Amino acid sequence: MASRAGRWWAPGRVNLIGEHTDYNEGFVLPLALPLGVTCIAAARPAGAVRVRSRQAPRGERDEIATTTAVLATGGWSELPAWTHYPLGVIREFERRGHEIPGVDLDLDATVPIGAGLSSSAALSCAVAIALRDLFAPTVSDTEIIDIARTAENVYAGVPTGLLDQSAAILCTAGHLLFLDTRTGRTEQIPFDLDAFGLSLLVLDTGSPHQLVDGAYATRRAECAAAAAQLGVGSLRDIAFATEADRLTDPILRRRAHHVITENTRVLRIAEQLRTGADPRKIAPDLTASHESLRDDFEVSAPPLDLAVTASLASGAYGARMTGGGFGGSVIALVDRDRASQVSQAVREAFATKGFDPPRAFTATPSAGAHRLD
Ligand code: GLA
């Protein structure tokens, strides 16, 4: 008895700049990709829940059936790891008082998984907006972002901030999303690289990006410790990098230095783009962000560093890793007519090191999550 059905979409993202700032109440500047996750959803009776994903690991591609009652008593934890995202979203709706009578979810992704392009937030957000339209139409975008993030934090066990879910829900075509993660203030900043003869090249290095292994959580804890030792609630409250020099622990000092300087870079880039400057002007800050993530925050990885140096050596104006790090993707600001030469140069550099060839595409700022039909 599928009374209502439809198809919903949520995008992956690249973060132009503002990395590891979201859980420090700082600033981020992502754009939505034209790649994402489609969720076909249909209402079911009697608490029946069925989920299926075309990208599930081999052996887990058959439909997985459970019930809302089983989910309510923690039964989701016995099911395959990938299901914790959609089932966590269902459970969160119910826990917040929005009854889900039962639902079928059929998921399909075009955004690469584990590439640091936020495939998991695309999945959680596609499911969340489907459930909202089918069963809980009064739920706000802010709550959707919170539900999707809780699904990742609590059910999938990844302690992310809200960058990825905010990007999936709030980004609009042709724009960067400027988000102040402390106040929730947002601004859509036009980002028309084409008008300047530019492209934003994405290089998916294919090296697995893994946030559940503890390194991400360690960075969060280090930032919290640095803020406490500096006597502030969060590193957002520190305006000048020199203030981090008061920290005696060299690791905490470097972590704080990254977050403080990164916030400054986001604000500067937002201001340059808001006033219509040539985007080539932002390039030094993109590269400086990478160096800070590599040296101070220590979340880069050899394939990411190589993609950055090879891009810059072959004509990119600026380049940096994007997303949480430890693998994943690099973005490079390039002249549109040099994009293929730059990606070829990176491919050749990878070959000399024996790395698998990176996947390259250009990112166009695309629409946030919405119903397809
Ligand atoms: C991951 C997390 C985000 C954010 C970035 C780093 O993508 O999901 O919340 O912390 O890393 O900027």
Average pLDDT per block of 10 residues along the chain, 373 residues long: 79 98 98 98 97 94 96 96 97 98 98 95 98 98 98 94 98 98 98 98 86 82 98 97 97 98 98 98 99 97 97 98 96 98 98 96 98 97
**What does the buried/exposed string (b/e) look like for 274-302 if buried means 16 or more CB atoms within 10 Å of the residue's CB?**
eeeeebeebbebbbbbbebbbebbbbbbe
Ligand 1 pocket residue status of 149, Cβ below 6 Å: no
CA–CA distance, 206 with 307 (Å, rounded to integer): 11
Per DSSP, helices labelled H in the chain are 68-72, 84-95, 119-135, 141-150, 163-170, 215-229, 250-274, 283-295, 302-313, 339-353
Atom of ligand 1 nearest to the CA of 116: 7
Atom of ligand 1 nearest to the CA of 28: 12
User: Ligand 1: distance of its center to the CA of 164 in Å?
Assistant: 7
User: Ligand 1: distance of its center to the CA of 4 in Å?
Assistant: 34
Predicted pLDDT at 207: 87
How far is the CA of 176 from the CAs of 114, 124, 130, 162, 172, in angstroms?
A: 23, 21, 24, 16, 8
Residue nearest ligand 1's atom 5 by CA:
324
User: Ligand 1: distance of its center to the CA of 60 in Å?
Assistant: 27
Residue nearest ligand 1's atom 9 by CA:
161
Domains of the chain, by residue range, sit at 6-187+367-371, 191-362
Residue nearest ligand 1's atom 11 by CA:
324
Active-site choice (22, 62, 104, 164)? 164
How far is the CA of 179 from the CAs of 71, 126, 166, in angstroms?
A: 33, 21, 8
CATH of domain 6-187+367-371: 3.30.230.10
Atom of ligand 1 nearest to the CA of 121: 8
Predicted pLDDT at 1: 38
User: Ligand 1: distance of its center to the CA of 32 in Å?
Assistant: 14
Ligand 1 pocket residue status of 324, Cβ below 6 Å: yes
Q: Reduced to 3 states, what is the DSSP secondary structure of residue 27?
A: strand
Question: Active site includes 62?
Answer: no
191-362: CATH class: alpha beta
Query: Is-above-0.95 flag for pTM?
Result: yes
User: Ligand 1: distance of its center to the CA of 163 in Å?
Assistant: 6
Atom of ligand 1 nearest to the CA of 324: 11
Ligand 1 pocket residue status of 323, Cβ below 6 Å: yes
Unique residue bearing structure tokens 């009578």 = 101
Atom of ligand 1 nearest to the CA of 23: 10
Ligand 1 pocket residue status of 19, Cβ below 6 Å: yes
User: Ligand 1: distance of its center to the CA of 322 in Å?
Assistant: 9
Ligand 1 pocket residue status of 261, Cβ below 6 Å: no
Q: Which of 232, 198, 132 is nearest to 336 (CA)?
A: 198
